[in-house]
Every structure is written in C-alpha cells, then in structure tokens.
Structure 1
Amino acid sequence: MKRLLLILFASGLVWPAAIQADDRHTEYYYPGPVTEEVYGSRAETMPEAERSLRLRFITGFTQEQLNRPYPPPHALFAKGADGEKLLLVATGAGSFENIYHARAVLAQMTAIARGTPLFRDMQVEDVFTFFDLAKMMGFTQITVSDGKSFAHRINIQ
C-alpha cells in the first residue's frame, strides 16, 4: 500500500481518502472523519526546527490576526508532543464553508510565505509553498477544518 501511494504521488495524482483518525484531536478540535493526502516537500527541515520555533510561529501568526480590526476568521495552533501538528480551524460561519475555501486560505498563506526574506534569500519564492515552510519548521502534518462538517489532513514528507 505504501508503495502504491508513493507511485501515485510520484505520478502527480492526489490520493484523498477517508481515514479513521486515531488521534485525540478528532472530535475535539475538528470533526471526523478526516480525509488525508500526502505532500512531498521540496524543503528540508531546518536544524533549529524545535517545538519552541513552531510555537513562536503560531504566536506571531495569532498576534497578527488579533491586531486586525475584525475577529480572526480561523485559528492556527500547534498540537502534538513536540508541537509538530499544525491545525487551522475556522472560528465562525463563512470562513471555510468547504475544503475549497480551506485550500484557498492555504494558497494565500503560500503567497505570504513567498514574500518572506527567508524564501527570497533562499531563492525559492517561486517554488516553495506554505507546506514547504511548514516542513522547514518541523511540522509533519497540517489539518484544516471548518470546525463543523469536514476536516482534511496534509501529511508532509
């Protein structure tokens, strides 16, 4: 099965599938069932990618959202023993009405990441995505949810 997934991924096919989420975050932060896909990152995890770096990223992102003159449309937080699981959950109606809205927000996050000095200095701003940034920081998965009817997980390899 793992070999089949690698072949499908290598050929550019996406393999979303319903999974039985066996982590304690399902039904607490987001609803089940969870669909899943694999993202093969082009980035390497940075040597300094520790739990504290991931938590500082979440804190900075959250602070930026809270400084806006309107309520945050979604919450970003880290879970797992080492903060290696990135969760992005809508906080109100209209934020993520479906998986496509969630993917649009992730695409916006890619645009923001590509404008950072980190990506520009590495000269990867036209290649790397937000998923690659997550890999660089040591996140192993990203779960997005509307908080009521769907949850989708991207496993980062």
Structure 2
Amino acid sequence: MRVILAFARILVIAAPLAAAAQSDDDRRADYYYPSITSTERFARVMTAPPRTERSDRMAFVDALTADQMAAGHAPRFAVFAKGDEAEHLIIIALDDGVFDTLFRARAVMAQLSAPVRATRFFQMQGLDDRATFYDMLRMIGFATLTLSDGKTWTHRVVFG
C-alpha cells in the first residue's frame, strides 16, 4: 500500500520520540461513535519510535483516505484523526457488514498489517515477520485507535 510505504520513509529518517498517550476518552463518544464498550492496551515496543509531528499523522490519514477513494468503489470505513496533535486515530464503519463485530474490525486491522511488513523500514529492522498495523500506528505517534461499527459498539486501543 502506497500510504504505508510513504510513511515508512518517515520512520527511516526520523529521530527517536518519547510519545505521550493523551486521554480525552469520551469527548467524541456519541458524536462520531457510540460510547466506548471495550478497551485494550497495545504496549509492545519493537524499536525506538521516530520523531513525528501532527502533520505526519494527518498526511497518513489523508493518504489512507485517498487510497480508498482511488479504489473505484465507495469506502467501507472512514478514517480520521482528532486531538490537538492528531494523536487519536478513529476508524468507523460506513455500512453494515464491515465491522459487524470487533472480530471483523480486528481482521481488517490485521489485513492492513501485510503492507506494513513489506516496508523497507520493517525489513531493515528485522521486524518484517512480526510488525503489525498497530506497530506502525504507534511509531507514527498515535496515542489511541478507536474502532466502531458506527451503531452499537466502540473499541479503544491505547498505545503505550
């Protein structure tokens, strides 16, 4: 996926960053998604995260959205970032059947791991057989990922 390859370049040349997880948990609940129904912590650190900025995270979201729009069919989920530093990634299903269950949402996230593993950054680090989409999100500096079917459930992944 072009998006992930582009951001792998950021990871290769960026300096280490101490990313702080920010918690403004339910400020967006009942506006963009239903109240949080489950939470998990993703604490694995595979390598020192690079220095990233708000503009890097926004460019990542913009590129994901552009890839979806170029696919020739309507996107099945919306991807956007919120927070002063765009540190909260939100992915919401746009129709039924996409994220009917948390398991299906996790399957989509797992599917997004394949292009991450193929990036030069993860290959150079020897992480290409273990890296996931969550690892990429953490390294870009996202503090949280919020997944929702847009109707009944919302799952929060906290990085760190």
TM-score (norm 2): 0.80
Deviating beyond 2 angstroms after TM superposition, the runs of 4 or more aligned structure 1 residues are none
Kept in 2: contact 1:42–1:128 (CA 8 A): no
Unaligned runs of 5+ in 2: 1-23
Alignment counterpart, residue 135 of structure 2, candidates 132, 135, 143: 132
What is the match of residue 69 of structure 1?
72
Unaligned runs of 5+ in 1: 1-20
What is the match of residue 155 of structure 1?
158
The alpha carbon displacement at 1:75 in A equals 1.1
Q: Superposed, which structure 2 residues align to 1:39-78 within 5 Å?
A: 39-43=42-46, 44-47=48-51, 49-78=52-81
Determine which structure has greater relative contact order: mean sequence separation of CA pairs < 8 Å that are 6+ residues apart, divided by chain length. Answer: 2
TM-score (norm 1): 0.82
Q: For residues 106 and 22 of structure 1, what CA distance do their matches in structure 2 show?
A: 21
Q: Superposed, which structure 2 residues align to 1:2-151 within 5 Å?
A: 22-43=25-46, 44-47=48-51, 49-151=52-154
The alpha carbon displacement at 1:22 in A equals 4.5
The alpha carbon displacement at 1:127 in A equals 1.7
Question: Alpha carbon RMSD of aligned pairs, Å?
Answer: 1.4
Structure 2 letter corresponding to 1:109: L
Structure 1 letter corresponding to 2:96: A
Q: How many residues of Structure 1 are paired with residues of Structure 2 in the alignment?
A: 136
Q: For residues 113 and 40 of structure 1, what CA distance do their matches in structure 2 show?
A: 18
Structure 2 letter corresponding to 1:124: L
Kept in 2: contact 1:39–1:154 (CA 8 A): yes
Q: For residues 100 and 137 of structure 1, what CA distance do their matches in structure 2 show?
A: 24
Identity %: 37
